[in-house]
């Protein structure tokens, strides 16, 4: 992963961070970016801006994946609700899992 230079928007956000926010951001910073900052190839504000931009991108991707998962889950729920057991299926000997009797535990053999 090549570290790119931060955009002006994120540079400005990095400049406005409090000391505590800066500390928290550094604690989440990846090792590659931290090493670049430590070797002074990237100044502190640039490193913070890059980290902010990376986190925003990761959050956006996570939200997209979560929305897809939620959509699939909702679709499965809708199908399950619409496919409630029909009377002809029940009369054919098919019983829902919840209606099946539980297995009896096996008796322990005496030694």
29 belongs to a structural domain: yes
Q: What DSSP letter does each residue of 59-100 carry, written as one string?
A: HHHHHHHHHHHHHHHHHHHHHHHHTPPPHHHHHTT---GGGS
Say if CB 47 and CB 33 are below 8 A apart.
yes
- Residue 56: CB atoms within 10 A of its CB come to 13
Backbone angles phi, psi at 40, to 5 degrees: 65, 30
15 — pLDDT class (breaks 50, 70, 90): very high
43 belongs to a structural domain: yes
- Tens digit of each residue's pLDDT (9 = 90 or more) over 75-93: 888 888 887 655 555 455 5
104 belongs to a structural domain: no
- Residue 55: CB atoms within 10 A of its CB come to 13
59 — pLDDT class (breaks 50, 70, 90): very high
95 belongs to a structural domain: no
102 belongs to a structural domain: no
59 belongs to a structural domain: yes
Backbone angles phi, psi at 83, to 5 degrees: -105, 40
21 belongs to a structural domain: yes
Number of domains in the chain: 1
65 — pLDDT class (breaks 50, 70, 90): very high
Range of the domain at 56: 8-82
């Amino acid at each position: 992963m090549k570290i790119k230079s931060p955009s002006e928007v994120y540079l400005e956000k990095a400049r406005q961070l409090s000391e505590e926010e800066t500390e928290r951001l550094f604690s989440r910073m990846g090792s590659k970016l931290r090493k670049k900052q430590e070797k002074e190839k990237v100044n502190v504000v640039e490193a913070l801006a890059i980290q902010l931009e990376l986190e925003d991108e990761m959050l956006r991707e996570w939200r997209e994946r979560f929305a897809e998962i939620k959509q699939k889950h909702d679709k499965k729920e809708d199908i399950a609700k619409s496919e409630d057991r029909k009377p002809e299926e029940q009369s054919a000997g098919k019983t829902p899992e919840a209606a099946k009797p539980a297995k009896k535990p096996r008796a322990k053999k005496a030694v």
